[in-house]
Amino acid sequence: MATTGAAPADSEGIVLDIEGQQPHVLLRFGSAAGRFVQSSPIGAAAVGIWLIMFIMAVFAPLLSPYDPLEADYAAIRAAPTAEHILGTDQLGRDLLSRIIYGARITLIVSITAVFVGDLIGFVWGIASGYLGQRFDLISQRVVDVLMSFPGLILALLLLVVLGAGLVTVIVAISVTRIPSATRITRAVVLSIKETSYVEAAKMIGASNVRIMVRHVAPQAVAPILVVATLHLGGAIFAESALSFLGMGIPPPAPSWGNMLGGVLAAAFRPPWWLVIFPGVAITIAIMAANLFGDAFRDFLDPKLRRRID
């Protein structure tokens, strides 16, 4: 539509371009989104929750009643009231405002970490699977090593080395996403490699890089997108756990995880609102990510869905 300016709309409301062959990419996305909502209402609801989180993150200054960093020593650990709907924390900061601002960190960290980690895994997996031979052998041993650590322990080790902070948390979490992304992409590429069109491309003398970029990569995109959405929940958990342990996002920045970590300092008599609300936020975010991941997987590849479920 944007390319042609005046595009004729057909009776079903699908706008075609001048050649009348391919609907504009936005419309194709729109109709795919429509089919997704139809195929999985729960998945759509999960997307809705994420949209709310996006709105919270983007409009945090408008939505939050107080400054999330401003301490109010007159109201330390105040229980929820009309003034502070979710109560205040150990420094008298408004909990609701901190949770709204916390959505920013959750979204930035989880999305960036999954994007970076899975992109690296994707490229690596394609190269490893397609090139094979010695490169593949060495790559897979390296992946073995990365897989030999429980994810959280590897992230902790990296954070000790890199120091706590927003960027380092993203780096640490994305490293823990690389091995599985590489493995899955490689497995897909191994079967793509045997197809006749790859064979044909080799015959006409296409270079390895060209075959990988033009023929192999597009076929391997769908599986990695599924992996990425399924990784989101794990990334949110990892960020919250690392921050909870005091190795992730350092205070006073409001991250849902470090808000729970601060509770521990309250000598084992934690006020209930400080424990419950940030945890509910984390759980809802992870649940929405998981539900979206499951629905998205079924949507992209119904064959993957269990036959009877």
Partner 1 sequence: MSKYLLNRLLIAIPTIFGVTVLIFLAMRVIPGDPLQLIVSESDGIYVLSEEELQAVRASLGLDQPYYIQYYDWMRQVISGDMGSSFWNKEPISGMILRRGPISAQIAIMAVLLSWLIGVPIGMLSAMWRNSLMDHLSRVGITVFIAVPSYWLGLLIILFSVLVFTWRPPITIIQLWEDPLGNLSMTVLPAMALGLGLSAATARMARSAALEVLFEDYIRTARAKGLKETLVVWRHVFKNAMLPVVTTTGLALGGLLGGAVSVETAFAVPGLGKLLVQGMTERDWMMIQNLVLLYGLIYVIINLLVDLSYAFLDPRIRYE
Q: Is 157 in the site for partner 1 (CB under 8 A)?
A: yes
162 binds partner 1 (CB under 8 A): yes
Contact 89, 95 (CB under 8 A): yes
- How far is it, in rounded angstroms, from Cα 244 to Cα 242? 5
276 binds partner 1 (CB under 8 A): yes
Among the listed residues 54, 91, 219, 290, the single contact to partner 1 using CB under 8 A: 290
Q: Would you count residue 19 as binding partner 1 (CB under 8 A)?
A: no
Residue 300 backbone phi and psi in degrees, to 5: -75, -35
Q: Half-sphere exposure (CA, 13 Å, Cβ side) for 40?
A: 22
260 touching partner 1, by CB under 8 A: yes
Site for partner 1 (CB under 8 A): which residue of 221, 264, 265, 304?
Answer: 264
Distances (CA, A) of 4 to 10, 19, 25, 31: 15, 10, 13, 20
90 part of the interface to partner 1, by CB under 8 A: no
Q: 79: which DSSP letter?
A: P
Task: Write out the two tokens for 42.
Answer: 């729960």
Contact status: 165 vs partner 1 (CB under 8 A): no
Q: What is the total residue count of the chain? A: 309
Q: Which of 80, 92, 250, 279 binds partner 1 (CB under 8 A)?
A: 279
Asked, as a colleague might, if the bond just before 252 is cis with ω within 30 of 0, I would say: yes
265 makes contact with partner 1 (CB under 8 A): no
In the bound complex, what is the minimum distance in angstroms from residue 194's beta carbon to partner 1?
A: 19
Residues at the interface with partner 1 (CB under 8 A): 141-142, 144-153, 156-163, 233, 237, 240-241, 244-247, 260, 263-264, 268-270, 272, 275-276, 279, 282-284, 286-287, 290-291, 306-309
